[in-house]
């Protein structure tokens, strides 16, 4: 069945489809960074591109591109693992390919409309054709429906291949989790003109993605990658995976309450949100231990032998273990109690957490999986980190960390001046943004953004060349 994968370096058709998704993901990642830089410059020079390409639009494209590239990379990773884990060729990869092109065409149209049309009148037609106005998942209604069809094809491929092939623990978790992940998207699709209700459901998508289903997803990726890269024992990684699933859903689902402090939901959410969201770092520690413990252990067993067969993938995986814990666990915990959130809500502190967590928990491991994919695609046993791999990882991570620190400082100043001292009014909002700490922090964020972009350039260079280099080294 899998002889084609083993005998030539090009992978199974599912794996090839996975690589196609990775390519688009990287392009969208680049677009995300450019939009972020435009928005960052507008913080410093508010007149920059004013009325041509406003902050609201740059920000919208920045965070929508973020979500979409990550979903692309997740679909890519799933297609990549699918035939390997189930030992069965994907059942409907041809259809999957068609879905890929439909989705990519739709994403292109949506982005062009965001960029060139930007806004429409406050009517139904705008929701259908331009954007829905729901932060992070702003795609217009027609695209929403298209996405559902494409995802059904994707899910059918995964589910039917799973049924037909070998059923590992990793794949079982993946199949169940993907159903929840895809199903949650529906909660962000229907429209109500009660803003509290609208926000209530919108958070189901945003929070239950990043703090439950996406976390479980990267748990399955880490488990799979550790088997591939360091030959970790399946029983061990799968045991960790089940523990994480249990804990993540335990704290993540009711942790949703930390978004219900401000939107007009009943007050009992304060206690529920405080308690369960404060527990959320616990599974993140488990994920941290999962990667580092398995790594240390397997190296010990293997003694002198080179234990890591894909240097860059492993480096990104370890960055993920730290980044997830730091960005989501620590930075999330900082502002999750209502007693703290009353001061920090919606400040730059939130933006610091948003950057550190999305990068630390997701960008890192998805990039690592791309390296794993390249290793398979080039059929090389050993993939060593190159100068470009190191620069890519170091500069982008350093840049995002720098942005996180700068924004934390800006947020701290907002808490003290805007919230505590001046009483959180409209005027206070502007006064706080004119003070030196805030202004300098925004400057540093832009500088660190450029560093991040530079890291991205090295990363792309590396992704384009490392396979050939590794193959040449092996020959």
SS3 459: helix
> Shortest Cβ distance from residue 122 to Fe ion (Å)?
29
Using the rule CB under 6 A, which residue among 10, 179, 189, 453 binds ligand HEM? 453
Q: Near ligand HEM by CB under 6 A, which window of 31-39, 173-181, 184-192, 462-470?
A: 31-39
> Shortest Cβ distance from residue 379 to ligand HEM (Å)?
31
Using the rule CB under 6 A, which residue among 341, 375, 386, 397 binds ligand HEM? 341
Q: What sign results for the dihedral spanned by CA atoms 4, 5, 8, 9?
A: positive
Binding status of residue 79 toward ligand HEM by CB under 6 A: no
Contact 273, 259 (CB under 8 A): yes
Nearest-angstrom CA–CA distance, 247 and 253: 10
Using the rule CB under 5 A, which residue among 62, 88, 134, 207 binds Fe ion? 207
Per DSSP, 424 falls in state T
Binding status of residue 134 toward ligand HEM by CB under 6 A: no
Using the rule CB under 6 A, which residue among 14, 36, 76, 455 binds ligand HEM? 36
Q: Which of residues 406-445 bind ligand HEM (CB under 6 A)?
A: none
Q: Which of residues 259-298 bind ligand HEM (CB under 6 A)?
A: 277, 280-281
Q: Near Fe ion by CB under 5 A, which window of 3-11, 59-67, 187-195, 211-219?
A: 211-219
Nearest-angstrom CA–CA distance, 226 and 220: 10
Contact 327, 290 (CB under 8 A): no
Nearest-angstrom CA–CA distance, 412 and 345: 11
Contact 148, 185 (CB under 8 A): yes
Give bridge partners of residue 310 from the DSSP assignment: 383
Contacts with 194 (C-beta within 8 Å, 6 or more apart), sequence order: none
Binding status of residue 336 toward ligand HEM by CB under 6 A: yes
Return the ∠ at Cα 370 (arms to 229 and 67), rounded to 5°: 130
Binding partner at 59 among Fe ion, ligand HEM, none, C-beta below 5 to 8 Å by kind:
ligand HEM
Nearest-angstrom CA–CA distance, 305 and 423: 62
Using the rule CB under 6 A, which residue among 15, 22, 28, 62 binds ligand HEM? 62
Contact 373, 22 (CB under 8 A): yes
Using the rule CB under 6 A, which residue among 28, 40, 314, 385 binds ligand HEM? 40
Count CB-CB contacts under 10 A for residue 420.
12
Binding status of residue 244 toward ligand HEM by CB under 6 A: no
Per DSSP, 139 falls in state -
Nearest-angstrom CA–CA distance, 413 and 407: 10
Nearest-angstrom CA–CA distance, 295 and 297: 5
Q: Identify which of residues 27 and 340 has a Cβ nearer to Fe ion in the complex.
A: 340
Q: Identify which of residues 75 and 274 has a Cβ nearer to Fe ion in the complex.
A: 274
Q: Identify which of residues 142 and 185 has a Cβ nearer to ligand HEM in the complex.
A: 185
Q: Which of residues 374-403 bind ligand HEM (CB under 6 A)?
A: 400
Binding status of residue 9 toward ligand HEM by CB under 6 A: no
The binding site for Fe ion (CB under 5 A) comprises 207, 211
The binding site for ligand HEM (CB under 6 A) comprises 33, 36-37, 39-40, 43, 59, 62-63, 66, 135, 210-211, 258, 277, 280-281, 328-329, 332-333, 335-336, 341, 345-346, 350-351, 353-355, 357-359, 361, 363, 400, 449, 452-453
């Amino acid at each position: 069945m899998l002889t084609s994968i083993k005998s030539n370096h090009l992978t199974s058709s599912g794996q090839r489809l996975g690589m196609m998704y990775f390519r688009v993901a990287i392009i969208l990642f680049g677009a995300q960074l450019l939009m972020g830089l435009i928005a960052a410059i507008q913080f410093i020079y508010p007149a920059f591109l004013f009325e041509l390409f406003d902050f609201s639009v740059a920000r919208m494209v920045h965070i929508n591109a973020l979500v979409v590239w990550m979903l692309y990379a997740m679909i890519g990773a799933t297609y990549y693992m699918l035939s390997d884990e189930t030992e069965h060729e994907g059942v409907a990869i041809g259809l999957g390919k068609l879905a890929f092109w439909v989705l990519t065409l739709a994403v292109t149209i949506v982005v062009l409309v965001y960029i060139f049309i930007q806004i429409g009148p406050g009517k139904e037609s705008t929701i259908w054709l331009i954007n829905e106005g729901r932060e992070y998942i702003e795609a217009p209604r027609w695209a929403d429906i298209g996405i559902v069809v494409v995802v059904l094809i994707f899910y059918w491929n995964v589910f039917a291949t799973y049924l037909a092939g070998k059923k590992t623990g990793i794949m079982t978790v993946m199949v169940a989790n993907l159903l929840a992940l895809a199903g949650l998207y529906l909660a962000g699709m229907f429209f109500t003109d009660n803003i509290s209700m609208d926000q209530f459901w919108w958070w189901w998508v945003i929070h239950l993605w990043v703090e439950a289903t996406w976390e479980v997803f990267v748990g399955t990726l880490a488990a799979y990658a550790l088997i591939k890269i360091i030959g970790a024992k399946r029983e061990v990684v799968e045991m960790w995976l089940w523990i994480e699933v249990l804990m993540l859903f335990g704290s993540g689902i009711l942790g949703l309450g930390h978004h219900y402090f401000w939107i007009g939901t009943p007050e009992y959410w304060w206690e529920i949100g405080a308690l369960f969201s404060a527990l959320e770092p616990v599974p993140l520690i488990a994920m941290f231990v999962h990667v580092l413990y398995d790594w240390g252990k397997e190296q010990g067993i293997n003694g002198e032998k080179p234990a890591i067969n894909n240097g860059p993938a492993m480096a990104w995986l370890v960055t993920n273990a730290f980044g997830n814990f730091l960005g989501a666990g620590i930075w999330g915990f900082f502002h999750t109690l209502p007693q703290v959130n009353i001061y920090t809500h919606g400040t730059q502190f939130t933006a610091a957490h948003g950057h550190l967590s999305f990068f630390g928990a997701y960008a890192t491991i998805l990039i690592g999986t791309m390296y794993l994919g390249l290793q398979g695609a080039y059929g090389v046993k050993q993939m060593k980190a190159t100068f470009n791999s190191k620069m890519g990882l170091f500069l982008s991570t350093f840049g995002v960390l720098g942005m996180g620190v700068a924004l934390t400082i800006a947020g701290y100043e907002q808490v003290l001046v805007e919230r505590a001292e001046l009483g959180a009014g409209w005027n206070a909002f502007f006064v706080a943004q004119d003070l030196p700490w805030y202004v300098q922090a925004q400057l540093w964020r832009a500088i660190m953004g450029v560093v991040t972009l530079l890291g991205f350039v090295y990363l792309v260079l590396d992704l384009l060349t490392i396979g050939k280099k590794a193959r040449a080294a092996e020959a």
